[in-house]
């Protein structure tokens, strides 16, 4: 078996694409394609790394014949690679066709995809990265069912800037929002702007409750003491404007006023 055939077989056994192997080696995908076609040959330093990635002896990799595993290279099973600014690990065990864990970090568009994914660009059920997407995600830009990040988008979103059904952040957008600046249907914050009910230092909404309040129904708070606002009057205003509002929503927006 020739080198190019061995390289292709080893790569496929590890479920690596040509692009992924190229990223690990710091070369282009075209270079890996040429190696596997027998058109060109890797440089010596790349051959050493290839032998380490796949845990085989360099001698058996280069010579015709069968591949020999390197018993002194156990650290690369399943495999991992640290070369300066690059780190990658991918578990051999899979779930739903995805590795249980995939870590891929370093300079550039380092993509990680797994049940648990950690990378510059991470996609998984649980994902952590500069850009992360998943059921549970955290990162600078985070998208998920539950997301946490500098900019987060999700059903439940928490971040400096957040967008979600329930959104909590410095600047929060969504259905129910809590933040320094909160904008939504039901908002609570320093500056709260809502299409229905706003509660905060400065509240703007049809029903506005705050130290400064602008709306159809305005309830002014004395200092920071919301108990100075009549809970009964607020609930009457809600009943007047939104008679079909669900009780749990009404309670959510008035719990701080007491009964």
Is the confidence at residue 85, as pLDDT, over 70? no
Look-up of token digits 């156990």:
74
Burial status of residue 205 (CB atoms within 10 A of its CB: 0-12, 13-18, 19 or more) = buried
Phi, psi for residue 34 in degrees, rounded to 5: -70, -35
Q: How many CB atoms lie within 10 A of CB 6?
A: 22
Q: Report d(CA 208, CA 193) in Å as an integer.
A: 9
pLDDT in tens, 100-127: 888 887 666 778 888 989 888 888 898 9
Domains delineated in the chain? 1-75 (1.10.260.40), 152-257 (no CATH)
pLDDT tens column, 243-256: 999 988 888 888 87
């Amino acid at each position: 078996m020739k080198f190019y055939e061995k390289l292709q077989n080893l790569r496929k056994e590890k479920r690596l694409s040509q692009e992924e192997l190229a990223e690990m080696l710091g070369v282009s995908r075209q270079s890996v394609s040429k190696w596997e076609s027998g058109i060109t040959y890797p440089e010596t330093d790349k051959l050493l790394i290839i032998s380490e990635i796949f845990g085989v002896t360099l001698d058996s990799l280069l010579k015709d014949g069968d591949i020999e595993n390197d018993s002194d290279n156990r650290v690369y099973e399943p495999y991992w690679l640290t070369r300066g600014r690059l780190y990658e690990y991918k578990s051999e065990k899979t779930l739903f066709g995805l590795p249980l864990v995939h870590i891929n970090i370093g300079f550039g568009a380092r993509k990680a995809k797994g049940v648990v994914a950690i990378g510059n660009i991470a996609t998984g059920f649980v994902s952590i990265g500069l850009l992360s997407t998943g059921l549970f995600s955290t990162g600078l830009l985070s998208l998920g069912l539950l997301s946490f990040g500098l900019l987060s988008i999700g059903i439940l979103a928490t971040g400096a800037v957040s967008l979600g059904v329930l959104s909590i952040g410095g600047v929060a957008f969504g259905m129910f929002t809590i933040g320094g600046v909160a904008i939504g249907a039901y908002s609570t914050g320093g500056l709260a702007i809502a299409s229905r009910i706003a509660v905060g230092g400065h509240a703007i909404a049809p029903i506005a409750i705050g130290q400064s309040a602008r709306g159809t129904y305005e309830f002014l708070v004395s200092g920071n003491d919301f108990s100075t606002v009549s809970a009964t009057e607020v609930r009457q205003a809600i009943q007047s404007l939104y008679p079909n509002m669900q009780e749990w929503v009404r309670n959510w927006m008035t719990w701080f006023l007491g009964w």
